[in-house]
Chains A and B, each alone.
Chain A
């Protein structure tokens, strides 16, 4: 499945990276702790988080993740969006909570970001 599919499942809106939504996603990582993300996440995952600051974008960049989706309708400031744009990192935002988002994606067959295979 692609980022576009996740966007539909979570009824999310794109804040930047509209043209990069065809990237293939297998794994999803859900965390507000960036060090945990850096520690356990395999590359090519989408990050679900409630943390909207600039460190989220750097974490996605350093760990080679594909995109970030903010939960509970959170939106980062313009500077953070701008940084994501220059790094080619798509940002989505959904009104669903972290719990609901995880549940829906889990039900669709996405696997946890620190598991190699399902």
Chain B
């Protein structure tokens, strides 16, 4: 599982990263008229095993150490680069994703590909398999470090804060009647709670409760606020809206009771399970509602065992 996950992460990166991000831009090139004796020294001095051949700023071929050796084996001594170079050059564009380069290395088995600018055709760099490995590792490391920093910051927040009383409040605005965005607030809240390092079961309960509350705000009101407060030992999720209010709270709490329209039911909600679900996943729930004014729901989830609390 672990292993497969990391492979797919690499594949994802190979699509995400562009060749420009990882290619070598300082390219050593040779002229077609240069003697191949010079070639050996150039390659040795820049520790490379192949190089593009340029004439008047144009890429006309590519020459590698293999071409050079083959020429030596044939006993050729006074040849120039253009005599032994490969004339047909396979290139890649700088704006292509790295996965194209990976595919090309597999297809041709070459050691390197010159990279050109799509618009001008000018030589922009060169890419080897080692550039790909180095580039991907660098990106993985950056991504990993960023996520680590996020996690560290969030989970150590309380340690770094010095106060007599701490109350961390996360507030999310919920638009009423906007079904395209319904669920977004809870999704963001869940991600934040995960980063803070809260236990998975707590995060799951909080996410489900907040999602049901959010759906209620979207379905029945013109908008409201969803708030999550972290107090010592308690995660409290509250919602305030300026909706029509609930006429009979007891009735609304009964599983199966609903005033939802067919449209809402078609979205998989409005089955009269919303508020009962909120109650089910939280340790405490209070509803106050005034007809024509709005509703306030205050829920609490105890972070430790309820018995251990008291």
Contact = CB atoms under 8 A, between A and B. Distances in A.
A and B: bona fide binding partners: yes
B268 A33 contact: yes
Interface string A18-43: 01101110000000111111110001
A107 interface: no
A63 B204 contact: yes
A53 B277 CA distance: 21
B273 interface: yes
B268 A55 contact: yes
Chain A, interface SS category:
helix
The number of chain B residues touching the other chain, given as a range, is 20 to 34
A50 to B, nearest CB: 10
Contacts of A114: none
Interface stretch (B47-55, B59-67, B164-172, B207-215): B207-215
B187 interface: yes
Interface string A75-109: 00001000000010000000000000000000000
A2 B64 CA distance: 47
Nearest to B265: A33
Interface of A: 19-20, 22-24, 32-39, 43, 49, 51, 53-59, 61-64, 79, 87
Interface of B: 1, 4, 7-8, 11-12, 179-180, 182-183, 186-187, 190, 200, 204, 207-208, 211-212, 215, 267-269, 271-274, 276-277, 280
